[in-house]
Amino acid sequence: MPVISAAHDLLDSDVYLDLRTSLGIPLVLKCEGFNFAGSIKMQPAAWMVEAAQHDGTLKPDSTLIESSSGNLGVALSVIAASKALKFVCVTDINCNPATVALMRALGAEVVVLDEPDPSGGFLEARRSYVRQRCTESSGYLWLNQYENPANWMSHYETTAALIAKDFPDLDTLFVGAGTGGTLMGCARYFRLHRPHVRIIAVDSVGSVSFAGTPGPRHIPGLGAGAPMPLIDPSLTAGMVDEVMRVHEIDTIHTCRQLAARGILLGGSSGTVVSAASQWLAQYPASSAVAIAPDLGERYINTIYNDAWVSDHYGQVDIRELLESI
């Protein structure tokens, strides 16, 4: 029986959900929401903080600062509170209100930006704000999840290694792309240790993580309004077999399908499951796993709220959406 002494000691979960019974999909989900941060972001957050403490850049009087659409901000809030550190999360109006409230409850300072950068969207606006705060005071330490190698290394050493151990016959893995940490950590691991495993990257329509034209996105988590440094095109070409882009309304539909079976997942998880469902309907896979990054409680007032869905996606027929489940 595992016994921990601090919130940041609980990182990875070894919980899998077989969707053949609930949705009739030959897919197993690795559920990453069973830690004190409620998402897979607990892994890279812990690794980045530990690396900064180990190399001396994070001092006892430092203030951590990070740009986040939500989940990493919560993870750093948990770790900062657990380690008695100060933390500032810079997010934007697309962040779920429940997530903002949660970070503040954990003692973090949360800055919510309401104006996107003209060329780089909210992501660049957040990063510019972080740079400004760091320029104003040397007491801030920006972990920079977008370029920090500890981000992808955490998934190479833990997430991917655990999946490989638990599924020795794995042939297809679906991984969502946000900063690229989970994707590149898993892709690097399997290309080295199990090169036959197909890696399917999942992105949101409107994201430019894999080129393309930026478009409006309202669900935080996957996707980016600017290229992610960790998603190196020269590397992904040899490591990622396919990229699937999911419309946000399909994400909502999948989340509600799962909720109707008692499985409440977050937007990132719904996007990955939606992509996997579409892919598996066309191609056979003897053993398929998808990484579900988050649970759904923080999305109650957004993707599970009829008024919010109609406000953001036009006149969506909610009744028709629900009846199709």
- Phi, psi at residue 136, to the nearest 5°? -75, -25
Q: Which domains does the chain have, with CATH numbers?
A: 7-35+152-323 (3.40.50.1100), 42-142 (3.40.50.1100)
Average pLDDT of the chain, as a whole number:
91
Q: What is the pLDDT of residues 48-57, one digit of tens each?
A: 999 999 999 9
Q: Give the residue-averaged pLDDT of 248-252.
A: 95
Q: Give the residue-averaged pLDDT of 278-282.
A: 95
Q: Is 308 helix (H, G, I), strand (E, B) or coil?
A: helix
Q: What pLDDT, on a 0 to 100 scale, did the predictor assign at position 120?
A: 79
Q: What is the pLDDT of residues 31-46, one digit of tens each?
A: 998 999 999 999 999 9
Q: Give the residue-averaged pLDDT of 253-272.
A: 95
Buried/exposed code over 95-121 (b: 16+ C-beta within 10 A; e: otherwise): bbeebbebbeebebebbebeebbeebb
Residue 6, pLDDT > 80, answer no
Q: Give the residue-averaged pLDDT of 300-311.
A: 92
Q: What pLDDT, on a 0 to 100 scale, did the predictor assign at position 322?
A: 55
Residue 325, pLDDT > 80, answer no
Residue 321, pLDDT > 60, answer no
Q: Give the residue-averaged pLDDT of 301-321.
A: 80
Residue 92, pLDDT > 70, answer yes
Q: Give the residue-averaged pLDDT of 58-67.
A: 94
Query: What is the radius of gyration, based on Cα positions, of the chain?
Result: 19
Q: Give the residue-averaged pLDDT of 161-182.
A: 95
Q: What pLDDT, on a 0 to 100 scale, did the predictor assign at position 118?
A: 85
d(CA 281, CA 140): 48
Residue 323, pLDDT > 60, answer no
